[in-house]
Structure 1
């Protein structure tokens, strides 16, 4: 797919300003769209939108569903407007931080309010809302029925992973499925109601953004979590053993200087998927593009080849490379869905085969200046050497902020950066924003933290750490006219 020269800002939904301790799909989201509009931006990028859990560090990359939305993002004030809740009911309990998300407190409060809203839905909802809910449940039944049952079962079994459920329901025996659908019918309907709330609010936000010519850029992790509705409902899609436990899991091999990583996500059974024309993936893409205009594929390498580790092995070195589906996958999916508007995360994996796969379908790869050797002439991660077929980022959700990165640079690298960018580094965040915006990359992206010149305290995620991630929030004051105007000037000057 051909992209126009454009630019945008990364800010995950949880980081939006708002009164309930976490960003949501309401006025804070619309205010950010307005900020992007004032700044003459074209794109808003964010992390995956699925449900998160404290057991996985609240990571949006370890979700219980590849299809569902995160209930914590639902705007409670919209439910007041619909008549499901009162103003007093959504008054936040005590002082919730405007700088960081306290997931435990937010989850307890929001879940209680959503239960209250559901309890009044049948008697309070308008005819239009009742019809919309019914139509949503029918339209999305392909994933919604399994997700709602899965989530109800999680509560029934004290949040145990599905691998530890009784054998009959763990392996989805027909009698057990029918029995639990009957016993948990109201809880199942509640989870469908929550997803309808998310979907209806999301569609309203997407329409608001589209009216201002702001494209929404989502994120597609290649793998799904083991304890997810997807693996439980579609065991044939994954490399599981006869007892529905993982036979092989994903990771990356050791490299000089590190021991590799064992992620633990079940890998796909690509042979079975190919026989079925990748039906599960087609459904996943269709749902994704119901929500967003463009998507970034995380770990694009896995479609070319993937590191597969025996499930019983703890050492990543025990794994081996296996062939991914390659071009056949994207040809098949494009045959069903048309051109695929993807960016791809190809950082650190630029061997010949992945470059050929990426370029064959015209997917722009990523370039991040924090990976640059500033003293090596022509280094590929220096912004002045980005190709047109690239998306240039100042930083990402997984890297330090520009200011934090710059502070930790070795003296020689800092001197070379100054020389290459013609700067003294006093406003290093704007220096690198300008450099990425001025590059040949077809798309230029920065983060809200970099726009504000924040240091490492505002970093969103430190890979390999279990706590303190995904918590940073922007305040209402951050959506400043002065910042928007400065970004607008850079954008206009660099013809984006």
Structure 2
């Protein structure tokens, strides 16, 4: 699909477009973690000035252990840690003095990386204060809030109860809760709802605020011709509201334990593969229900973004099934997935949804055939192109028009860090291909990417500033110190970098929306 019509009746297109990958948590600001406030708006301004059509983000859901947005506690809810605190002060729900104290705490720990747990706990306390302020003013009776709660009831009530119960049980996974709650016995669920009604309301409040703030930011971006490219992981976390609430849709035993888990076999990123640990879908049961869960999931995500990247697309053709008791992914096996049936159900319910298929890793002809049958763009990652073949399909001169091309993704090292990690022979190959010396090699690669035939080209923000490995977003297979990198305010205000990107975009005849 090269073009589409969105819900507002506006035409959208991938054709000769470009963008930057930056997750909102990585935005600068005084609140310890990026938010949806003035720094996000400033970022949108920068994208507009540089002629970029796309702001690519990672999943916007509440992150799980270690801050990973790919192991979220809900596939439907938004990340409340992104809520802009200044807006809560302006609304009269949070005292400016309380925000000042919090910012003093953040300033003491200011660095290129934030502590997910420390910031999460401290910001959570401020959200509790804001909730009390809102509640004290009768906010729960507001029309906007009530409309949101009613519209989101299909997922919000399960998420609110799950979150409240998880707090009551000191953060333990739902599998470790009392058996009646694990089984979701009606009496146990009703008793929990009564006893935790106040905590559940706070969760609803946070989700409403997130939704309103994100809608405001997205509208701000749309006015400036900037579209949001979102991300949907194929699998969901074991410890999530959806798995607890819809156990019949997953391959789980009577005790709630998984029979097998998801992952990928050994590849470029890991010699033992990646044992993600996500529960596997009961695709037979999903099919019986017309894939309504997936339709609902995509419907919800599309309220927040303009297009989607489907992470691990190959899992729809075949997925790597790992025995639950296996310590690594080595002993897994390929199992046939649902194919295009999920996407056809989505299209029948929602119309055409613009998607990019993340088709990296071990890709077979059957995976390519499914991608092409669905008319989806695949991905090319330039860093992977320097692996021996002169005409490697990930080198820019080989790109087809119908693809999305990147210098690297959130799972790659930064391009500067990647280049520095190569041996001298590898560096020589890169220098020869891009006809450039060591200094400025990253921008030379960006220029080749932008000049390629690929309809969509995207660069991680770290590469715009030629940052090294210390700015890497994620190291697959490593549990600690990921997902917490932040750009500095100086980077946000580095005029020459955005001017350079804008010139390159014009020279390569790429353009923002309507330009």
> Out of 68, 74, 78, which is 2:77 matched to?
68
Q: Does 1:188 align with 2:215?
A: no
> Out of 417, 420, 426, which is 1:413 matched to?
426
Please, which runs of 5 or more residues in structure 2 have no aligned partner?
3-13, 511-515
Deviations 1:327-360 (A, max 9, x none): 2221122111111211111112321000001111
Q: Does 1:475 align with 2:488?
A: yes
Aligned residues of 1:52 and 1:70 also touching (Cα < 8 A): yes
Q: 1 CA distance for matches of 2:442 and 2:304?
A: 31
Q: Does 1:240 align with 2:240?
A: no
Q: How far does residue 98 in structure 1 lie from its aligned partner after superposition?
A: 4.9
Q: What residue number does 1:398 align with?
A: 411
Deviations 1:367-412 (A, max 9, x none): 1111112652211111111111211111111111111111122222
Q: How far does residue 429 in structure 1 lie from its aligned partner after superposition?
A: 1.4
> Out of 375, 392, 409, which is 1:379 matched to?
392
Q: Does 1:7 align with 2:49?
A: no
Deviations 1:453-484 (A, max 9, x none): 11111111111111111121111211222111
SS in structure 2 opposite 1:489? Answer: helix
Q: What residue number does 2:167 align with?
A: 155
Q: 1 CA distance for matches of 2:124 and 2:181?
A: 26
Q: What residue number does 2:44 align with?
A: 33
Q: What residue number does 1:425 align with?
A: 438
Q: How far does residue 316 in structure 1 lie from its aligned partner after superposition?
A: 2.8
Q: Does 1:357 align with 2:370?
A: yes
Q: Does 1:211 align with 2:223?
A: yes
> Out of 125, 142, 146, which is 2:154 matched to?
142
Shifted more, 366-375 versus 275-284: the winner is 366-375
Q: 1 CA distance for matches of 2:508 and 2:267?
A: 39
Q: What residue number does 1:261 align with?
A: 274
Across the aligned residues of Structure 1 and Structure 2, the Cα RMSD in angstroms comes to 1.6
Aligned residues of 1:63 and 1:228 also touching (Cα < 8 A): yes
Please, which runs of 5 or more residues in structure 1 have no aligned partner?
none
Q: How far does residue 254 in structure 1 lie from its aligned partner after superposition?
A: 4.3
Q: 1 CA distance for matches of 2:479 and 2:388?
A: 34
The 3 A distance-change label for structure 1 pair 374 and 309 is closer
Q: What residue number does 1:252 align with?
A: 264
SS in structure 1 opposite 2:71? Answer: coil
Aligned residues of 1:98 and 1:474 also touching (Cα < 8 A): no
Deviations 1:414-440 (A, max 9, x none): 222222222123201110110110111
Q: What residue number does 1:48 align with?
A: 59
SS in structure 2 opposite 1:110? Answer: helix
Q: 2 CA distance for matches of 1:339 and 1:492?
A: 29
Q: 2 CA distance for matches of 1:215 and 1:125?
A: 35
Q: 2 CA distance for matches of 1:216 and 1:318?
A: 38
Q: What residue number does 1:165 align with?
A: 177
SS in structure 2 opposite 1:318? Answer: coil
Shifted more, 427-436 versus 407-416: the winner is 407-416
Q: What residue number does 1:434 align with?
A: 447
Aligned residues of 2:258 and 2:324 also touching (Cα < 8 A): yes
The 3 A distance-change label for structure 1 pair 255 and 481 is closer
Q: What residue number does 1:270 align with?
A: 283
Q: What residue number does 2:299 align with?
A: 286
> Out of 336, 348, 353, which is 1:340 matched to?
353
SS in structure 2 opposite 1:462? Answer: coil
Q: How far does residue 125 in structure 1 lie from its aligned partner after superposition?
A: 6.0
Q: 1 CA distance for matches of 2:431 and 2:331?
A: 44
Q: 2 CA distance for matches of 1:236 and 1:414?
A: 51
Q: 2 CA distance for matches of 1:145 and 1:339?
A: 29
Q: What residue number does 2:506 align with?
A: 492
Q: What residue number does 1:17 align with?
A: 28
Q: How far does residue 244 in structure 1 lie from its aligned partner after superposition?
A: 2.2
TM value normalised by structure 2: 0.93
TM value normalised by structure 1: 0.96
Q: Alignment length, in residue pairs?
A: 493
Deviations 1:274-295 (A, max 9, x none): 1111010000000000000111
Aligned residues of 1:21 and 1:100 also touching (Cα < 8 A): no
Aligned residues of 2:407 and 2:458 also touching (Cα < 8 A): yes
Q: How far does residue 104 in structure 1 lie from its aligned partner after superposition?
A: 2.5
Aligned residues of 1:137 and 1:144 also touching (Cα < 8 A): yes
Q: 2 CA distance for matches of 1:309 and 1:460?
A: 26
SS in structure 1 opposite 2:18? Answer: strand
Shifted more, 274-283 versus 102-111: the winner is 102-111
